[in-house]
Structure 1
Amino acid sequence: MKHKIDPKHPKPLGAAQRKRLQAVADMPDEAIDYSDIPALSAAFWAAHRPARTEPKAQVTLRIDRDVLDYFKGGGSGYQTRINDVLRSFVIAHTSGRR
């Protein structure tokens, strides 16, 4: 039997599912076992870049030379990789504060 999931109209979670999710949400990050999740390669991230609909702002940014060299060392798309790292920082420091 196949099941189809409609992401725009998800099935509501049951009480047991909500309880399990809340238990994980309440855990400190250090207590979560990630050992069964394989590391994702740079090739994976190059092929799976999230689509953005909003335009990016052009800015002048001063970055330490060694940091810039590191990102440029990954080839083209270094500015997008820098943006991705900055976005991850913002998400990590703003989640749950909205």
Structure 2
Amino acid sequence: MRRTTEAEIARTAPSELRDIPEDFWHGARVVTPVAKEAISIRLDQDVIAFFRASGPRYQSRINAVLRSYVEQ
């Protein structure tokens, strides 16, 4: 297995990531993906329109909102 050095990571990182604050990852948590189950669900038209307007993967965003609710 090839190990990547910190210098190589810094050299190849996208420019947007070069100036992130030192504490950027302090609140981060590892999230292990879970298996999805296809279901049929009825939602109000305006709710669907809201999420679809934000672009592709709107169903994933709906799932994220529901997950946040469950975790609270």
TM-score range, shorter chain: 0.5 to 0.7
Select 2:63's aligned residue among 83, 86, 93: 83
1:66 and 2:46 correspond: yes
CA RMSD of superposed structures (Å): 1.5
1:84 and 1:60 mapped to 2: Cα distance?
17
The residue identity in structure 2 corresponding to 1:77 is R
Please give the TM-score of this superposition, normalised by the length of structure 2.
0.55
Higher relative contact order (CA 8 A, sep 6+): 2
Alignment: residue pair count: 43
Residue 51 of structure 1 and its aligned partner are, at CA, apart by 5.1
Residue 53 of structure 1 and its aligned partner are, at CA, apart by 2.9
Unpaired segments ≥5 residues, structure 2: 1-29
Unpaired segments ≥5 residues, structure 1: 1-49, 93-98
Please give the TM-score of this superposition, normalised by the length of structure 1.
0.41
Same amino acid, percent of matched pairs:
40
